[in-house]
Amino acid sequence: MKHLNIKALAGLLYVFIAVSALIFLPAWTLHYWQAWLYLVVFMISISAVFIYLIKNDPELLARRVNNKEETKSQKVIHFFINLAFAAVIVISALDHRFGWTAAWYVVMVGDIFVALGILIIFFVFKENSFTAATIEVAADQKVISTGPYARVRHPMYLGGLIFILGIPLALGSWWGLLTVVLFAPALAWRILDEEKFLVKNLPGYAEYKKKVKYRLMPFIW
């Protein structure tokens, strides 16, 4: 268990360094208060989730840490999602560098979105201990249809989408919002691929699909 915690902590440190580099290198300045505020909100939020998993659900933490995709399609989808995530940050930082920035109140709204997205993911973790970082089905896994899963079939991805939408705003960028267009198709592709897998491998999931109509957003999709 200690090894798992160290590995997870190292992952958090890696995320902080990588995200910081994606922001400050394109911006080419440390005088970027929007970025520092975003990093504080982001790191406090994910650290709180990390601490919760250590104390309450180490098995889920292990599933999140061991995140190597097995299928070729998911490896491709994972690559495009990571690419889109990086593009959102880099374009937003370039926006700051060249002065195409949004007003301070837009930054506040963006940070609220970032925190809200991670909060939704936290509630998903509390409701479903089988939310692995990869698409898989554990031996004792069952369909979860309560909590956020009673509203949409993929609430964790909804949280991720809100989080991504918040990043460019939190970094003070309108132009960064355009790069979210890169993220949405990759996310939709992953959801459709995941549902095919779950219908085939998770008993009761086909019935759950009939019960909960919407995949990602109520009344939309």
Q: Which residues of 131-158 are buried (b: 16+ CB within 10 A; e: fewer)?
A: bbebbbbeeebebbeeebbeebbbbbbb
pLDDT for res 159? 94
pLDDT single digits (tens) 159-212: 999 999 999 999 999 888 888 887 888 888 889 988 998 898 888 999 999 999
110 or 74, higher pLDDT: 110
Strand partners, 173: 101
| Range of weakest confidence among 26-30, 73-77, 81-85 | 73-77
DSSP letter at 149 equals: G
pLDDT for res 1? 61
pLDDT single digits (tens) 87-119: 999 999 999 998 767 778 889 999 999 999 999
User: In the chain, what are the domain boundaries?
Assistant: 2-211
Quick one: CA torsion of 179, 183, 188, 189, rounded to 10 degrees?
120
CB–CB of 185/125 below 8 Å?
no
pLDDT for res 83? 86
Cα–Cα distance for residue pair 84/187, rounded to 1 Å: 10
CATH class of domain segment(s) 2-211: mainly alpha
pLDDT single digits (tens) 20-52: 999 999 999 999 999 999 999 999 999 999 999
Six token digits for residue 77: 């989808």
> Which band of pLDDT confidence, cut at 50, 70 and 90, is reported for residue 133?
low
